[in-house]
Amino acid sequence: MYFGCVFHSALSEEEKTSLRAGLITNFNEPVNQIATQIAVLIAKVARLDCPRQWPELIPILLESVKGQDGLQQHRALLTFYHVTKTLASKRLAQDRRLFQDLASGIYSFACSLWSHHTDCFLQQIYARDEAAALGSLERTLLSLKVLRKLTVHGFQEPQENMEVMGFLNAVFERLKQFLECCRQVGPDSTCREKLEKTIILYTKVLLDFLEYHPCAFLPLIQCSLEFAVSYVFTPAGEGVTFERFIVQCMNLIKMIVKNDAYKPSKNMEGRSQGLRHIGVLKGGE
């Protein structure tokens, strides 16, 4: 917040432009903690200036995540996530409309990015190339974090967008694949911790979407319940599930069963009771 105040009150427009350009000149910071701080800093500036004063930010990030250099690709993706997360958190109506415009423009690309890194990870892990798989898994996790924000906060009527609903349906298949990976890699694998983290993130996508868009979630209810019940209460989950995943599945079941949006309205209940009462009276005549 301090940086934002200084950035906007104490600097000239030329200085701001120069600083913004400098922040995204390259994405090759080798130290993870420093790279994260740079990404957070870029996101803070983006909260104030993107897209109006900083229209080139998103195109540069999208171009950078396509790069062949592994470090640059990861750092750009890390920044892309923090920028998306920050812009998604803005709550003014005008800001939300801007984020929805952004989401509709980059959603296809974000889906392709996630799908690509996911496929790379699965190929590498089954080829037992854990070093390469770990890098792909990190990119899968970041791209999924981006998609989570875009999916939950980027569309006013997500059920009308085929790509959004297609992604959500694909989540179940990807979850099954990643759970099977748990059996493949075992508890001592270098990928295990991040693999479980990614699985939990998939469940968070479903839980968040259910919370924010219960009506749009309707087509996913049956699949969600069948999936959760299968892995928690049948042998399908043996050897692949873990405690936090089971908790998330139970939360999914609970949120569906107790969701007010799926309960009949009081007027409907009253009407039903009235009809039953009339039926009783007629039966007694």
- Where in the sequence is the domain holding 45, given as residue range(s)? 1-89
pLDDT for position 264: 80
**Is 115 domain-assigned?**
no
**Do the domain assignments include residue 220?**
no
Per-residue model confidence (pLDDT) at position 9:
59
Q: Has residue 5 been placed in a domain?
A: yes
| Both structure tokens of 188 | 């001592």
Share above pLDDT 70 across residues of the chain, in percent, rounded to a whole number: 90
Per the domain annotation, does 187 fall within a domain? no
- Of 198, 148, 194, the C-alpha closest to 177 is 198
- pTM of model > 0.75: yes
pLDDT of 5 > 80? The answer is no
Return the closest-CA partner of residue 16 out of 52, 62, 61, 63: 52
Q: What is the pLDDT of residues 251-275, one digit of tens each?
A: 999 999 999 999 887 665 555 554 4
Q: Give tens-digit pLDDT for 173-211.
A: 999 999 999 988 888 899 999 999 999 999 999 999 999
Q: Residues 206, 148, 231, CA angle at the centre, nearest 5°?
A: 30
Q: How many domains does the chain have?
A: 1
Please write the tens of the pLDDT for every residue from 13-65: 888 889 999 999 889 999 999 999 999 999 999 999 999 899 999 999 999 99
Q: Taking residues 61-83, what's their average pLDDT? A: 94
Domain assignment present for 67: yes
Q: Is residue 124 part of a domain?
A: no
Q: Is 239 left (phi over 0), alpha (psi -120 to 50) or beta?
A: left
Tens digits of per-residue pLDDT, 214-227?
A: 999 999 999 999 99
Any domain includes 39: yes
Residue 214 lies in a domain: no
Nearest to 41 by CA among 58, 19, 68: 19
The full DSSP string for 48-113 is HHTTTT-TTHHHHHHHHHT-S-HHHHHHHHHHHHHHHHHHHT--SHHHHHHHHHHHHHHHHHHHHH
